[in-house]
Amino acid sequence: MASLSLEDVRTLLEAPAAAVLTTTRKDGTALTSPVWFRWTGVAFEVVIARDDVKLRHLERDPRCVLVVFETTAPFRGVEVRGEATLNRCDVTEMRRSIAGRYLGKEAGERFATERAEKPGVLLQLFPEEPRVWDLADILQH
């Protein structure tokens, strides 16, 4: 399989694709959680509630893995490993944007509004050496 770039799977990254974030517990074991994300063209972004265990893990150990994938053919995906950058800021707009991708504009707006009083942190993960796959060629054989 040829080496692929994030641009090769841009439509996947622009879609409300399934994604999981893996963080490390204090005992060294992995916690893998489903997340919603957005790709800015530079970084993957995830909003994490301030009371979420994932945030405690990342504050202690910023290393994490984000995997974005399709559950239908051609089963494209991306794995990004790195150190999360955590930004304590007003996440209302990011929450609205990300929720809108998954739920649609109106439901995304409602989702963000309902959580406006629940502070969050913006996780940014900058892909240095992403692993990208597309099984289209394999599936055609």
pLDDT per position in the chain (141 positions), as tens? 468 999 999 999 999 999 999 999 999 999 999 999 999 999 999 999 999 999 999 999 999 999 999 999 999 999 999 999 999 999 999 999 999 999 999 999 999 999 988 899 999 999 999 999 999 878 876
- pLDDT at site 141: 61
Per the domain annotation, does 80 fall within a domain?
yes
- pLDDT at site 36: 98
CATH number at residue 116: 2.30.110.10
Per the domain annotation, does 25 fall within a domain?
yes
- pLDDT at site 70: 96
Judge contact between 78 and 12, C-beta under 8 A: yes
| Cα distances (Å, whole numbers) of residue 141 to 33, 54, 116, 136, 138 | 34, 41, 50, 9, 6
Per the domain annotation, does 79 fall within a domain?
yes
Per the domain annotation, does 1 fall within a domain?
no
- Give the total residue count for the chain: 141
What is the domain extent for residue 124?
A: 6-139
- pLDDT at site 5: 94
Residue 120 three-state SS: strand
- pLDDT at site 139: 81
Number of independent structural domains in the chain: 1
| Cα distances (Å, whole numbers) of residue 136 to 5, 11, 14, 75, 133 | 15, 14, 19, 7, 9
Per the domain annotation, does 75 fall within a domain?
yes
